[in-house]
Chains A and B, each alone.
Chain A
Amino acid sequence: MSFPLLTVLGRMALAFLLATGAVTAFAFHAVRQAVQPPYYRRQIVSQILEIGYYSLPVVGLTAIFTGMVLALQTYTGFARFSAESAIPNVVVVSLTRELGPVLASLMVAGRIGAAIAAEIGTMRVTEQIDALTTLSTDPFKYLVAPRLIAGIVTLPILVLVADIIGILGGFLVGVYKLDFNDAAYLRNTIDFLQFQDVFSGLVKAAVFGFLITLMGCYHGYTSKGGAQGVGMATTNAVVSASILIFTFNYFITEAFFAR
């Protein structure tokens, strides 16, 4: 007697374990290559510019509108309990702990994760990665390591900028639309802001930066076939990075704030 459902579930479980093992092995090898010389400084700087500097507009826009909406929504909810004065506190805590790192990272995953997978995937299917090897250049050191380093370094900076812009968005709505006193709004924000809130957000950003670039590199590096394979690698990079961001967000939050 056969159990088709069990067979399908078993195959899915095995495929999941296989993929997890492959990604883990890839990550270990990539990290080992990233910490050992030689370092391709020009590549690292170029990736920092690509991932950090060129992502600023999209992250900034996301942050300012998130801060504005957060202030507005909090006001409509808290006004029922006459707790409008808590708006600056809610905005600053939500942004620094959660929305800043998660939303900025999701935007970067869409922009950079896809770009990395497409670039490395195209290099794979056009034999450019093999060409690197024949030129005595380790593709992990030249392609993967600079992207991982850039992701870990730049995401916290991006998130810090997103935090500031998001709080500014909340301030603008609070002062110009909800008629808060500007000095009181700022004082409330600063009084309630704790180092751990910002720090936990930056730790999350560094982990998310690693995950985004790792997924982009892994799916690009292992892509097969032609244009279809590269397209699939791009999709998989964004989807897997997004899922990992949400998963790790929970565990890091628990590590910092669970009592």
Chain B
Amino acid sequence: MNAKISLRDVTKAFGPKKVLQGIDLDVAPGESMVVIGGSGSGKSVLLKCILGLMAPDRGSIRVDGEETVDFNDRGRARVMRKFGMLFQGGALFDSLRVWENVAFGPIQSDGMKPEQAREVAVAKLGAVGLAPEIGELFPSELSGGMQKRVALARAIAREPEIIFFDEPTTGLDPIMADVINDLIVKCVSDLGATAVSITHDMASARKIGHRIGMLYEGKLIWQGPVADIDRSGNAHVDQFIHGRAEGPIRMQVRKL
């Protein structure tokens, strides 16, 4: 298999804390991979390492077969052109209007003319169910759900080959979370993109993923098709997907 993204022995530590301990992962072209895991399990660090926002201490990260770990600025910019990213909090630029946020990549990075980029922005806002008038507002004037939609529109504006989703449904009510999940599935499918998501929302993971991997204490302890997650045979996975307090995963909480 020619993997779109391939990780081998990816390791990252912050001082004595080993956050990632030898991650091996392959994501096929057009596949939607979801990485689940509790808070502090290393999901965000894994995503940042793949995106190049953080350098791993050891290991290999290949995108389309090309090693990205030791990239220079030019190489990084080239591979970044393939990426789109939906951040957990949206990370919209609050000094720019909504349409300028969506058109930011096409204008600043691709050199598209503002008038043309505005049309692209309106089209992408339409694809996530937002009216053109919303484009004139500032992000602070939008609800959480609308901000997520705008962030999704920005992530797909350059029609990336690979889209990353960082906790796409966190902070949303269940109905809005499902709306966002549907939009993610539709956008990824329309673009024919490869997707890598991290979440601890199992409903979201089941809906947007083809395959699921579980990260625990910096290791990928299980991975397989979504349909197999309920019969994984792994006690850690079972405890996590059913949200049980009792089990092999112990939360570090002090007694009152």
Which single member of B48, B53, B94, B104 contacts A135 (CB below 8 Å)? B104
Complex formed: what's the CA distance from A133 to B52 in Å? 9
B77, A131: Cβ atoms closer than 8 Å: no
Task: With A138-B73, A142-B108 as known contacts, state yes or no: A133 contacts B91, CB within 8 Å.
Answer: no
Residues 108 to 136 of chain A near chain B (Cβ within 8 Å):
123, 126-128, 130-131, 133-136
Closest to A43 in B: B108
In the complex, the answer to whether B93 meets A136 with C-beta atoms within 8 Å is: no
Complex contacts, B99 vs chain A, CB 8 Å: none
CA distance A135 to B110 in the complex (A): 10
Q: A128-B93, A130-B53, A131-B93 are in contact. Are A136 and B88 (CB under 8 A)?
A: no
Q: Which residues of A contact B94 (CB under 8 A)?
A: 128
Contacts of A73 in B (CB 8 A): none
Q: Judge whether A134 and B83 touch: CB under 8 Å.
A: yes
Q: How far is the CA of A131 from the CA of B166 in the complex (A)?
A: 12
Chain A residues with Cβ below 8 Å from B39 are none
**B89 close to A134 (CB less than 8 A):** no
Known: A135-B104, A135-B109, A136-B109. Is A130-B91 also a contact (CB below 8 A)? yes
Interface extent on B, as a size class? 20 to 34
A253: chain B residues within 8 A (beta carbon): none
Known: A127-B89, A128-B93. A134 touches B51 (CB 8 A): yes
Interface contact A136-B81, CB-CB below 8 Å:
yes
Residue among A126, A128, A134 with the most chain B CB within 10 A?
A134
Determine which residue in A40, A134, A135, A137 has the highest number of CB atoms from chain B within 10 A of its CB, and name it: A135
Provided the pairs A138-B73, A142-B108 are in contact, do residues A133 and B80 lie with their beta carbons within 8 angstroms?
yes
Q: CB distance A137 to B108 under 8 Å?
A: yes
Given that A126-B89, A127-B89, A127-B91 are contacting pairs, would A134 and B84 also be in contact in the complex, using a CB cutoff of 8 Å? yes
Quote the shortest CB–CB distance from A149 to chain B (angstroms): 17
Chain B 55-87 interface 0/1 with A at a Cβ cutoff of 8 Å (1 = within)? 000000000000000000100010011011101
Say whether, besides A136-B77, A138-B73, A130 and B87 are in contact (CB < 8 Å): yes
Interface residues of B in 13-48 (CB under 8 A from A): 48
Q: Which residues of A contact B77 (CB under 8 A)?
A: 136, 138
Structural contact, B109 and A131, CB atoms closer than 8 A: no
Q: Interface 1/0s, chain A 134-146, versus B by CB < 8 A?
A: 1111100010000
Cα distance A100–B89 in the bound complex, in angstroms: 44
**Given the complex, which residues of A lie within 8 Å of B108, measured CB to CB?**
40, 135-137, 142
Q: In the complex, given contacts A127-B87, A130-B87, what are 19 additional A-B residue pairs having Cβ atoms less than 8 angstroms apart? A: A123-B93, A126-B89, A127-B91, A128-B93, A130-B51, A130-B85, A130-B91, A131-B87, A131-B92, A134-B80, A134-B164, A135-B80, A135-B104, A135-B108, A136-B77, A136-B81, A136-B105, A137-B104, A138-B77
